[in-house]
Amino acid sequence: MDRDLRRMVGATFANIPTRKPGLSREAIVMLTRIDHVGIACHDLEEKIAFYESTFGLLVVSREVNEQQGVKEAMLHVADGPAGASYVQLLEPLNPDTPVGKFLVKRGEGVHHIGYGVDDVVAALESIGGTGVRLLDERPRHGSMGASIAFLHPKDVGGVLTELVQAKPR
């Protein structure tokens, strides 16, 4: 790479802000990790077998969540300083659930992204204060005993976003 290009690339990266002006340090570190990627599927057992055989992932939790209308499996990906990350496979209990409707409209694939937070109540308050619409005003029960809440996808770039406060170890 020639000197001018190197200088231009370095200047470009040097000018990328690490935080939005006016945000507190607490707001910057609110998201601690990518907790999981939720993937909608038609056949949970088939997808579990695929992720186990293709990627070597192991199921660490299976649940039926009547409130959310899904059968789910959490497959462990990795551990990090802020906690573990997972692939969450979701099969609808029936076609009129949110995941069932998603499958009809979009087919199998990424349904949502779950971000780890230390305090889901504080995260909801802070994020709601920025104008992002909350699908959950207060936390509800999530996978593996976590407290969770969802943000409106239209306010988060079209991505259904879940905040996850893991169950204390």
Question: Which residues, 6 or more positions from 113, have their beta carbon under 8 angstroms from its beta carbon?
Answer: 34, 36, 37, 38, 159, 160, 161, 162
Residues tagged active-site: 36, 72, 88, 112, 162
DSSP state of 24: -
Confirm if 114 and 36 have CB atoms less than 8 A apart.
Answer: yes
Tokens of 26: 């607490």
Measure the CA–CA gap between 158 and 145, rounded to whole angstroms: 27
Question: How much of the chain is helix, strand and coil, in % rounded to 5?
Answer: 30, 35, 35
- CA neighbours closer than 13 Å in the CB half-sphere of residue 117: 25
Confirm if 151 and 135 have CB atoms less than 8 A apart.
Answer: yes
